[in-house]
Each structure stands twice: as C-alpha cells, then as structure tokens.
Amino acid sequence: MTNTKKLFENFRNFVKEGPADDFEKAADAGLYDYTDLLKKIAKDPDFQKIARAGQTDGDETDEVVKVERKSTGVDKLFATQAEIGASNSLDDQMNNGAAFNGNSTAIALGLKGEPIIMPSQDDPPPAILVWNGKHILDGHHRWSQIMMTNPEATVAIDSLSGPALNNAEDALKITQLAIAIAAQNVVTKPFEGANLMTMGTEEVMKYVAENISDEVLQMLVKAGKLESPDKAAAAQYYGRNHKIIQMRRGKFEREKGMPQAGKSGASQDAVNKVLATGTVNYNNPKKSDVSEIKIRVKKK
C-alpha cells in the first residue's frame, strides 16, 4: 500500500469515528477527562444507546449499583472534593439560614430531628450522596454546614455500592455517566471564593465572632454546644470544628469532575434510579452491547 493510500485509509477511519467511539475508548480515563468527554457527547443519540446498554452487554448485574438510604455520624464522612466554600459552609449557619426560611442552623444542630437532611434547592431535599457509606460524591456543602456547627450529628445518606465500583473515582465517574443518561447533559460548577479546607482557623474564628447572631448563640446553648451565649466561645467552638473538617479534605477539583445532578437537569433521585437498574454501561462499553430492546430512562 502506497503512503498516499495509507494516509487516505487513516483519514477515512478517522472521519468514521464519532462520540460512540470516543466513549468506548474512555473507559479507563481519569475522572477529569471522562467528565470532559461526557459534557461534549451527552446529547448524542449513538452515545446514549451505548451508555444505556448495561442490561444488554452480556451481564445484566455487573453494573447494578445498590443505593441504600442509611444514617451515619457526619464525622464518619470524608470529602472527595478538594474545595469547599467557606461562605457556603458558614454564612447560613451564622444567622439560621435566611435563605431557607430561617431553619438552617436549627436543622444542622438536630433541633428539628435526626437523621439530618439539610435544606436544598431540590424538592424534596436529597440526602448526602456517598460511596461505600463514607466518601461524599454530592452534597459537600450540606455536609460542611453540619460539620462546622454540629460534628456529633447523625445525618441521612444515600450510599452507593456495587461490583463496578472499586474506589471513589469509579463512583464519581459512574455518577457522571448516570447524570448524562438521565439529563442528556453534564454540568460542573467552578469553585469561587475562599476554600474552607485550606484557609486558616484564625480567619474562621474571626469571621464567626464578627457575624454570629444572638439567635444562633441561643441555639448553640440549647443544643448543649455552649455553656452561655458568648461570641468568643462560639468562635473557639467553630475553630475546633474547622480543624476536624480539614482532616477530611478530598483531592478532586470541583469544576473538573464533581457531579452536579440538579444543575445538569436531573434530580438526584432520578439519577439514583438509573444507577439502580443496571442500565448504566460503565464497564468496557462497546457498540456491540446495544440491543434492540429499549430501556426508557425518564428525567425528573
């Protein structure tokens, strides 16, 4: 074969490849590259066919993800995300959350009952999504609010487990794939502002002393966290909790790989249901996995 013919053949093979081929090749990609690809191809119908072929790939159960609602100590959870917003973690806690009908601090303190589910833009608000009962996949800021205000709390979690999930990165990747299926869209959010996980504890204490409301001080006393409604004592309390949460920092950057089901266009509940069916074709997906059997996945 002449060089010209080789070039033409390579070019013909190249132009034949599309999103489905890219998805096949990305099975072993890291979280960031995998997420970046899903952002580009989520709406492609050929990709969607392969992505939904988990039940027709020769093993109907290998990609079934068990999603269990459980409760656990909030301090038993660990972040996978490297950045957690200081303002997202502290602002509402200083004034009992004006953004959520004045209940954020009361809820975080367990004064509204346990296991705790923090307020959210989703309705109903979801539990914290974790892998293997321990590693947070989605809900970092709901977790950080509770950790900063009440690290002894019991929280509700939706825990993922399954044979396809060998580590937290697998869990993040399969969650992004389920979002791509449920929403036909994948969105991540850039991180903005101060990072609670790297900022100094003295800065946190100063912020608390300057911003905590009298209402929240009384709540902390009621919950047994303070002996008296004293701002300096509250600053010390939040400072201690800040050191605890910093020991649980993750390694993945928010914008490059962290799941955002709601922002992408699907509820967390819808994503969980997709995962539980085994529809998600995560392990070595191939075009040959696709069957004429059609599995419907509804957005919600």
pLDDT digits (tens, 9 = 90+) for 31-77: 999 999 999 999 999 999 999 999 998 888 899 999 999 999 999 99
pLDDT digits (tens, 9 = 90+) for 144-189: 999 999 999 999 999 999 999 999 999 999 999 999 999 999 999 9
Q: Residue 17: its pLDDT value, please? A: 79
CA 151 – CA 225 distance, rounded (Å)? 10
pLDDT digits (tens, 9 = 90+) for 218-229: 999 999 999 999
Contacts of 273 (CB under 8 A, 6+ apart): none
CA 48 – CA 192 distance, rounded (Å)? 32
In 3-state terms, what secondary structure has residue 194? coil
Residues 143, 147, 149, 153: is their CA dihedral positive or negative? positive
204, 85 contact by CB (below 8 A):
no
Q: What are the backbone dihedrals phi and psi of residue 156, each rounded to the nearest 5 degrees, phi first?
A: -85, 135
pTM: 0.90
Q: Residue 277: its pLDDT value, please? A: 92
pLDDT digits (tens, 9 = 90+) for 250-264: 999 999 999 999 999
Residues 169, 132, 190, 284: is their CA dihedral positive or negative? positive
Say how many C-beta atoms besides its own lie within 10 A of residue 283's C-beta: 16
Beta bridge partners of 68: 159
Would the pLDDT of 30 be above 60?
Answer: yes
Confidence of residue 6 (pLDDT cuts 50, 70, 90): low
Beta bridge partners of 66: 161
